[in-house]
């Protein structure tokens, strides 16, 4: 991938990219886990940009907003910065404190978009990575109405959208049921410090897929700078 020497904001400063999301985009301590997200590696593919990753494990659009995590960016994020917004995993979950119905999810995404624009930043919705769920030899679709709501919101608000779901689905499907295990947190006994007996996790990623997903998001950001 070409170096992004043109990643400057309108003031000529290094472009800043802010990430709001859940654990599938957040930063993990390599001393404690082999879990790695695309957001954690995005800077590797955009070396001329400044990455501010505010994604946090366990957050949905509702809890991220309720905890003031978006408001905390006020005064920091500004003109020409990018605001990447990726949620759904916890919004569609069953925990009531996190859960949102699809319509509420869409309204919350609109709040993120408005916030970014009011600060002079460019909001970009990023669809959630796929869940590795196989049945009868076929990778199953994931996120259902939440994925549809994000795409609908992008169209309604005339907001840029990076369809990471489609790319992640393609990558996992092409890898196949067994090979794709290495892309997610499938670990054996003793391999993962926090899970001494092993772990079968089809939501969170390891480095092989995180690299591919980060490279895709970076490419889409580079492409928008060339238009």
Name the active-site residue from 23, 26, 180, 209. 23
197 is catalytic: yes
> Which three-class secondary structure string do you get for the chain?
CCCCCCCECCCCCECEEEEEECCCCCCCCCCCCCCCCHHHHHHHHCCCCEEEECCCCCCCHHHHHHCCCCHHHCCCCCCCCEEEEECCCCCCCCCCCCCCCHHHHHHHHHHHHHHHHHCCCEEEEECCCCCCCEECCEECCCCHHHHHHHHHHHHHHCCEEECHHHHHHHHHHHHCCCHHHHHEEEECCCCECCECCCEEEEEEECHHHHHHHHHHHHHHHHHHHCC
Residues 139, 154: Cα–Cα separation, whole Å: 26
104 is catalytic: no
Name the active-site residue from 54, 186, 204, 209. 204
54 is catalytic: no
Name the active-site residue from 31, 197, 211, 223. 197
- Active site members: 23, 197, 204
């Amino acid at each position: 991938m070409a170096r992004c020497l043109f990643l400057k904001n309108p003031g000529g400063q290094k472009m800043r990219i802010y990430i709001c999301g859940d654990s599938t985009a957040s930063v993990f301590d390599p001393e404690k886990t082999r879990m790695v997200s695309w957001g954690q590696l995005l800077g590797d593919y955009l070396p001329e940009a400044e990455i501010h990753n505010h994604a946090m494990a366990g957050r949905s659009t509702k809890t991220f907003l309720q905890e003031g995590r978006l408001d905390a960016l006020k005064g920091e994020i500004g003109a020409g910065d990018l605001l990447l917004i990726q949620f759904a995993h916890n919004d569609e979950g069953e925990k009531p404190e996190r859960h949102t119905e699809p319509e509420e999810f869409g309204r919350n995404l609109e709040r993120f978009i408005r916030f970014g624009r009011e600060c002079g930043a460019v909001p970009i919705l990023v669809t959630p990575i796929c869940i590795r769920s196989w049945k009868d030899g076929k990778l199953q679709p994931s996120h259902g109405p939440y994925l549809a709501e994000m795409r609908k919101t992008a169209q309604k608000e005339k907001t840029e959208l990076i369809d990471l779901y489609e790319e992640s689905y393609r990558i996992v499907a092409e890898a196949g049921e067994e090979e794709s295990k290495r892309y997610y947190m499938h670990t054996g006994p003793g391999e993962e410090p926090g899970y001494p007996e092993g772990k079968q996790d089809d939501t969170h990623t390891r480095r092989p897929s995180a690299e591919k997903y980060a490279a895709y998001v970076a490419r889409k950001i580079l492409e928008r700078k060339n238009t």
